[in-house]
Amino acid sequence: MFWHLYYSKELIQQVLTLMKQEYGVRDYTLLSLIYQLGAAKGEIYPLVWSDVDFKNKTISLMHKLVKNKATGKYERVKGMKNSYRFRTIPVADSIIDLLTK
């Protein structure tokens, strides 16, 4: 039987603080987005500025990264593995503030 583990807000804040101190603002921002949006890292990595609507405080998840077999590099393509992953998520002011820095 599997038990779901939930982390306290305090523990998450400690992890985020440590991430910022040890790895810098880029990794802190990525982890903050994963936590606040409830998104997988594969949904966060392909984000670009046009996916962020600062006025309406939303982020649209509509792309994925696919490895190009010829070049070995990852490319951003429209689409998701599962259609339910397409979504526009309202974000907290703290995320908007973080992204504008």
The verdict on residue 80 lying in a domain is yes
* Dist CA 89 CA 36 (whole Å): 10
Query: Could you tell me the CA-to-CA distances from 96 to 45, 55, 75, 91 in Å, in that order?
Result: 17, 10, 26, 7
Structural domain span for residue 48: 9-96
CATH code where residue 62 lies:
1.10.443.10
Total structural domains within the chain: 1
Q: Is the pTM of this model over 0.75?
A: no
The verdict on residue 4 lying in a domain is no
The verdict on residue 64 lying in a domain is yes
The verdict on residue 1 lying in a domain is no
The verdict on residue 69 lying in a domain is yes
Give the list of residues 6+ apart from residue 78 with CB closer than 8 angstroms, or none.
62, 63
Over its length of 101 residues, how does the chain's per-residue pLDDT go in tens digits? 455 567 888 888 899 999 999 999 888 888 888 888 888 877 888 899 999 999 999 999 888 888 889 999 988 888 666 665 678 989 999 889 988 88
